[in-house]
Structure 1
Amino acid sequence: MKTKQSILAPVIRLTATTVVLCGLVYPALVTVVAQVTMPDRADGSLIYNDQNEVIGSALIGQNFKEPRYFQGRVSSIAYKSEASGSNNYAPSNPELLTRTEESLKQWEENNPTVPVSQVPIDLVTNSGSGLDPHISPAAARAQIDRVAKYTGLTKADLQDLIQEQTEPLELGLFGTEKVNVLKLNIALQKLMK
């Protein structure tokens, strides 16, 4: 008959080995590979201003309230990255309907030249994470009248700016074209100078 000590010894060794491999070796290996192969992404895809100060991340949306800037998707978590996630409402959920109606009403107030029926869906709906930094090129173009009014830039200049900032499909095949709102607004700010 085996003793308690002889039964526990392999369990303890296996646990210690698993902790070392999964808790130390694997994370260290992944960190090294990420830092070598894609250091920018591994460090959070941070965006710096001219004074070398961090102003955001290319991976996390921000709330631009001033009408002279392009605005991103609605975020039910106020773009707080520690609270990533979204309410998983069904299309028939009354709270989703109320939030969407409020977003459309706000859109109508801020963008009177674009009818509500032509508002791109990504401007009034949440992404799955609530942190999506991208909008569709159509969503950016829908805001041109308002941005032109508040910045004094021509609509043609804003069209060109959106085109320059439009990111293509991944590997030319996957996803959709998209515009990073933070990068677009940084480029817009440079045009306004």
Structure 2
Amino acid sequence: MKQNIMPAIRLTLFCAVFFSGIYTMAIWGVAQLTPNKGKGDVVEQDGKQYYINIAQGFTKPEYFWPRPSAVDYNAAGSGGSNKGPSNPQYLEMIQQRVDTFLLQNPAVNAEDIPSELVTASGSGLDPNISIQGAKVQVKRIAAARKIDELKLVKLIEENTEAPLLDALGTEKINVLKLNLALDKLK
């Protein structure tokens, strides 16, 4: 046992120095090479700053709604629900979200609601929705803002982001960017 104590102490000290110092500084150094120096993608509009890569909670009828969040859009507490798809409480929560969505969007059928509009992401902070997720909200927003639906569809198309390298993933829309562009519409 005595012969194992010194290697264990050396390994512990090495790991403490490496992971709390060297590794941390290496990650920080790489972050300094990115735009905004690793502090997130920030956009400013009307004197307010917003983080584009973190979901924001929009609930007013005149805005596009993001995915629900299990952490109430709090980036300090990123995480999802630990309830599985067969959990009765989870299914009840999903049904409440579907009912709320249908109440606010009476022209939509339940089967037309994309799953991302009623289920939270793993982090609870996913800032993106699908094209279908945006288009299914057009009638509500057009009525609330008293603007033509075609303007909203064009806005969706203008704010659609291509998959990574045009091959990895699907097209998506950042809800915050879309809503900021929506506020600029006349």
TM-score, structure 1 length as denominator?
Answer: 0.86
User: Considering only aligned residues, what root-mean-square deviation do their CA atoms show, in Å?
Assistant: 2.1
Secondary structure of 2:18 counterpart? helix
**Structure label with greater radius of gyration:** 1
State the shift of 1:90 in Å.
2.2
Q: Which runs of 5+ in 1 are unaligned?
A: none
Deviations 1:44-99 (A, max 9, x none): 11222243x32x21221111111000001111221112221111322221111101
Letter of the aligned partner of 1:32 in structure 2?
A: G
Secondary structure, aligned partner of 2:156: helix
1:13 positional shift: 5.7
Give the drift of 1:10.
Answer: 6.9
Relative to structure 1, is the Cα distance of residues 91 and 8 closer, same or farther in structure 2, using a 3 angstrom cutoff?
A: closer
Matched, 1:79 2:62: no
- SS of corresponding position for 2:134: helix
CA deviation digits over 1:6-33, x for unaligned, max 9? Answer: x977766654444333222221122112
Pairing partner for 1:116 from 103, 110, 122: 110
- Give the alignment partner of residue 42 of structure 1, picking from 35, 38, 42: 38
1:65 aligns with 2:62: no
What is the distance in 2 between the residues matched to 1:88 and 1:111?
Answer: 29
What code does the residue aligned with 1:121 have? S
Answering whether residue 16 of structure 2 is matched by residue 22 of structure 1, we say no
One-letter amino acid matched to 2:132: A
Q: Which amino acid aligns with 1:157?
A: K
SS in 1 for 2:32: helix
Please point out which of 168, 174, 179 is paired with 1:174: 168
- Alignment of 1:129 with 2:123, yes or no, is yes
Report the residue type matching 2:118 in the other structure. V
Paired with 2:9 and 2:70, the residues of 1 have a C-alpha distance of: 45
Shift of 1:41: 6.8
Partner of 1:93: 87
Rate the CA distance shift 1:23–1:102 in 2: closer, same or farther, 3 A: same
Q: Aligned residue for 1:32?
A: 29
